[in-house]
């Protein structure tokens, strides 16, 4: 019997069978897996094989994953945790205000998605809070991301604006939701399917940080073909383990221009004859992307012995 893992607490799992029924299952013994380190844990989105013994269900095998997303531990153990598997689309939910937009977070997420070859889009929520001037800024920002190669949507869950568009986008897919806490991921889930009742946190206006109400990734069934994985309020979405020199490959705008760099292995930092860096300096590409590139590059460099 095959099923889809919709929730994992580390010791038991909720699994959706093909008829839509949800069962509780445990894992038994060592599981056959896709080998690499730390990836043998059952995770949300896994397709698993279920054994039934009387009233008990146990997971006997994880089917090969088409992809998976990991997060680094916050401590120094360099341990990684799988957050979710078999993702068709990644949506980064963001806001310009309440909480204030963090470009660093958005671009880190886009790099990670790019590295996994998972299509990613940005959903800007809370447009109801924006002045006309701020709406213009958002339009420019969306245009900048579109030119790079990322589509985005501008929605307001509060005003029920753009929800139909999100329904279309997620149709037939397993979609991963990510975003700083407080941006409205749970609210959007509830708007997509009123039966879900994901817990909406109260954002205190004094610190605008939002509360961490979600601790484990959980999959929600929007309808029998559309599933959304909500992730814990990730402060920093860990970059996957890569060489710092690889990072440039996950900035599509850099990839396009890099063939004109003098050196084939140009990192677009301070190399002579670089065709990429000047485009940012001349404001032909948004400078924040370059700043985030340099920042992430330094971060990866710092992780290497
Ligand atoms: N003004 C406004 N507030 C929203 C909107 N969507 C969600 N919120 C509020 O933002 C806060 C955080 O929402 P929540 O869904 O818990 O965010 P999450 O942490 O990303 O899951 C709650 O107080 C929501 O009511 C929106 O479109 N406009
Ligand atoms: Mg939430
Ligand atoms: Zn270059």
Question: Which among 162, 187, 199, 213 is the best mutation to test ligand 1's pocket, defined by most ligand atoms within 8 Å of the CB?
Answer: 187
Per-residue pLDDT at 78 exceeds 80? no
Q: Using the atom order of ligand 1, give the atom closest to the CA of residue 233.
A: 19
Return the H-helix or E-strand segment holding 136.
Answer: helix 132-148
118-169 per-position pLDDT tens digit: 999 999 999 999 999 999 999 999 999 999 999 999 999 999 999 999 999 9
Which CATH topology does 69-230 take? Rossmann fold (3.40.50)
Relative to the alpha carbon of 260, which ligand is closest? Answer: 3
Query: If you compute the radius of gyration of the chain from its CA atoms, what whole number of angstroms results?
Result: 20
Q: Using the atom order of ligand 1, give the atom closest to the CA of residue 187.
A: 15
pTM above the 0.85 mark? yes
Residue 129's alpha-carbon distances to 122, 125, 126, in angstroms, are: 18, 9, 6
Tokens coding 64: 């090969």
For residues 21 and 60, give the distance between their C-alpha atoms in angstroms, rounded to a whole number: 19
Cα(107) to centroid of ligand 1, in Å?
22
For residues 294 and 265, give the distance between their C-alpha atoms in angstroms, rounded to a whole number: 16
**Averaged pLDDT, 56-70:** 90
Q: Using the atom order of ligand 1, give the atom closest to the CA of residue 179.
A: 20
In a 3-state reduction of DSSP, which class is residue 203?
Answer: coil
Identify the residue whose C-alpha is closest to ligand 1 atom 7. 184
CATH number belonging to domain 2-65: 2.40.50.140
Contact by Cβ (8 Å): 50, 59: yes
Identify the residue whose C-alpha is closest to ligand 1 atom 9. 184
The candidate with the shortest Cα–Cα distance to 181, out of 208, 212, 156, is 212
Alpha helices in 149-283 (DSSP H): 163-170, 185-192, 252-257, 277-281
Contact by Cβ (8 Å): 80, 38: yes
- Phi first, then psi: give them for residue 173, nearest 5 degrees: -125, 160
Cα(218) to centroid of ligand 2, in Å?
11
Confidence of residue 31 (pLDDT cuts 50, 70, 90): low
Contact by Cβ (8 Å): 62, 74: no
Relative to the alpha carbon of 259, which ligand is closest? Answer: 3
Confidence of residue 176 (pLDDT cuts 50, 70, 90): very high
Fold matches, 2-65 and 244-303: no
Per-residue pLDDT at 206 exceeds 60? no
Question: Which among 177, 182, 204 is the best mutation to test ligand 1's pocket, defined by most ligand atoms within 8 Å of the CB?
Answer: 182
CATH number belonging to domain 244-303: 1.10.40.50
The candidate with the shortest Cα–Cα distance to 229, out of 47, 43, 39, is 43
For residues 72 and 69, give the distance between their C-alpha atoms in angstroms, rounded to a whole number: 10
Identify the residue whose C-alpha is closest to ligand 1 atom 28. 126
249-269 per-position pLDDT tens digit: 999 999 999 999 999 999 999
Identify the residue whose C-alpha is closest to ligand 1 atom 1. 126
Contact by Cβ (8 Å): 99, 180: yes
What residues flank ligand 1, with Cβ below 6 Å?
125-126, 128-129, 156-158, 179, 181-187, 200-203, 210, 233
Relative to the alpha carbon of 215, which ligand is closest? Answer: 2
**Domain boundaries, given as residue ranges, for the chain:** 2-65, 69-230, 244-303
**Averaged pLDDT, 19-48:** 76
The per-residue pLDDT for 149 is 95
């Amino acid at each position: 019997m095959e099923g889809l893992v919709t929730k994992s607490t580390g010791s038991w799992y909720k699994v959706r069978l093909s008829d839509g029924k949800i069962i509780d299952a445990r894992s038994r013994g060592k599981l056959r897996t896709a080998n690499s380190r730390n990836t043998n844990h059952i995770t949300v989105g896994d397709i698993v094989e279920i054994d039934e013994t009387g009233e008990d269900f146990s997971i006997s095998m994880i089917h090969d994953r088409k992809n998976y997303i990991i997060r680094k531990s916050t401590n120094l153990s360099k341990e990684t945790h799988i957050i979710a598997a078999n993702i068709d689309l990644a949506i980064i939910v963001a806001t310009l205000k309440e909480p204030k937009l963090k470009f660093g977070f958005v671009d880190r997420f886009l790099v990670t998605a790019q590295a996994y070859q998972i299509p990613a889009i940005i959903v800007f929520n809370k447009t109801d809070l924006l002045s006309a001037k701020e709406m213009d800024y958002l339009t420019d920002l969306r245009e900048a991301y579109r030119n790079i190669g990322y589509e985005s949507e501008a929605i307001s869950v509060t005003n029920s604006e753009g929800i139909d568009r999100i329904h279309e986008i997620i149709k037939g897919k397993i979609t991963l939701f990510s975003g700083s806490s407080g941006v409205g991921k749970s609210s959007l889930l509830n708007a997509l399917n009123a039966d879900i009742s994901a817990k909406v946190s109260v954002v205190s206006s004094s610190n605008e940080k939002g509360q961490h109400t979600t601790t484990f990734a959980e999959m929600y069934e929007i309808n029998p073909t559309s599933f959304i994985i909500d992730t814990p309020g990730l402060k920093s979405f860990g970059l996957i383990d890569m060489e710092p020199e690889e990072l440039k490959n996950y900035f599509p705008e850099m990839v396009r221009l890099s063939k004109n760099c003098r050196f084939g292995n140009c990192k677009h930092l301070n190399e002579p004859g670089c065709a990429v860096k000047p485009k940012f300096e001349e404001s032909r590409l948004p400078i924040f992307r370059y700043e985030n590139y340099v920042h992430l590059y330094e971060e990866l460099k710092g992780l290497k012995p």
